[in-house]
């Protein structure tokens, strides 16, 4: 469910009329609020889905003959039904192989070189997209993000971060959100909120009044994502970052995941597939073991294509009792 503070913000925003299409008083406050949060001039486009935020960002900097490089496990490559390609009128997402869901600078550079060698016959390397926290539940440190952005810069490419679980990464690292975004070269951030207590509320952040602002705003409108009642998205985003609510909720989810990770580490059969650094725990076990867990009343999904791997995701409202019951069932 959405967090109580978010529902209260929606109720307050629901009083009386407001201007439409992100010209309301709540939307007008976003740039200043997020500029203060990140410590740099930030232009905010409120959007209702992460897929739209990712796709608008990438299409705004990538021509139809351009390529976006991302980890093979990335959401934009596996789980968005070709939306970046659709928004970008044929742009290509190129997968990069490296461990634990994190792009490795060397592997990224090698993949870029392997895809740029035929002039007009090849896609033009245009952007790099990295996910924070990753699809494997791991987190990039500031130095790792800087190294990836350096590779992108060396090739004249734009940099985008898919931050569907951005709050979980900030809570894990305990650093300023600017330390692993604009300060190390990230130009665009899909700032996720729906996975951490909001209701259909995301944002595309452009740092430094990015030159692609006009492109991004027109793509938002053209794709049907400029809502007439945008105040309900913007009011959530403002409440989300007020008094560090977003970090408190993310930290709670991360701590619940750590409790379960410790139970897995102590288990005689089940094992962790990846390091647990945010709010996701990937468990490798036998199909029979997972069936026994289901028989104990635990509901979860095994990973597509594998009956020996399941993902458990913990949220802002997962209680200590629920996590304890899961550990006992395991």
Q: Which of 241, 174, 249, 227 is nearest to 2 (CA)?
A: 249
**pLDDT given for residue 77 in this prediction:** 98
Instruction: With both helix axes pointing from N to C terminus, report the angle between 166-173 and 245-265 in degrees, rounded to the nearest 10.
Output: 80
- What pLDDT does residue 101 have? 96
pLDDT score recorded for residue 209:
63
pLDDT for residue 117: 72
* pLDDT at 179 (0 to 100): 98
pLDDT 10s digits, 94-128? 999 999 999 999 999 999 999 887 888 899 999 99
Whole-angstrom distance, CA of residue 202 vs CA of residue 216 = 15
Q: Residue 71's beta-bridge partner residues?
A: 96
pLDDT digits (tens, 9 = 90+) for 305-320: 999 999 999 999 999 9
- Of 120, 71, 127, 130, which is closest to residue 99 (Cα–Cα)? 71
Residue 119 is predicted with a pLDDT of 84
What is the number of residues in the chain?
A: 330
Provide the β-strand partners of residue 47.
202
The one-character DSSP state at 77 is: H
**Stretches in the chain below the pLDDT threshold 70:** 209-210
């Amino acid at each position: 469910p959405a967090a109580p503070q978010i529902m209260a913000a929606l109720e307050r925003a629901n009083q009386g009329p407001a201007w439409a299409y992100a010209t309301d008083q709540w939307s007008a406050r976003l740039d200043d609020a997020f500029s203060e949060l990140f410590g740099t001039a930030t232009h905010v486009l409120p959007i209702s889905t992460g897929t739209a935020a990712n796709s608008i960002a990438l299409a705004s900097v990538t021509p139809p003959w351009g390529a976006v490089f991302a980890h093979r496990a990335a959401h934009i490559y596996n789980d968005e039904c070709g939306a970046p390609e659709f928004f970008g009128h044929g742009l290509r997402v190129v997968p990069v192989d490296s461990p634990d869901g994190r792009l490795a600078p060397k592997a990224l550079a090698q993949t870029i070189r392997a895809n740029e060698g035929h002039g007009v016959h090849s896609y033009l390397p245009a952007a790099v997209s990295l996910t924070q926290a990753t699809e494997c539940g791991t987190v990039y440190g500031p130095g790792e993000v800087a190294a990836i952005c350096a590779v992108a810069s060396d090739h004249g490419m734009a940099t985008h971060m898919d931050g569907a679980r951005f709050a979980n990464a900030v809570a894990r690292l305990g650093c300023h959100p600017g330390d692993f975004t604009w300060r190390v070269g990230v130009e665009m951030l899909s700032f996720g909120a729906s996975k951490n207590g909001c209701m259909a509320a995301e944002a595309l952040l452009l740092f430094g009044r990015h030159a692609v602002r006009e492109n991004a705003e027109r793509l938002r409108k053209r794709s049907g994502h400029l809502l007439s009642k945008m105040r309900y998205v913007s009011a959530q985003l403002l409440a989300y970052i007020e008094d560090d609510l977003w970090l408190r909720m993310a930290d709670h989810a991360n701590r619940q995941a750590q409790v379960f990770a410790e139970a897995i580490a102590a288990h005689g059969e089940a094992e962790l597939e990846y390091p647990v650094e945010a709010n996701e725990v990937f468990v490798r076990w036998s199909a029979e073991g997972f069936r026994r867990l289901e028989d104990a009343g635990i509901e979860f999904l095994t990973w597509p294509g594998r009956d020996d791997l399941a993902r458990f995701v913990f949220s802002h409202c997962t209680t200590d009792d629920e996590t304890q019951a899961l550990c006992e069932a395991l």
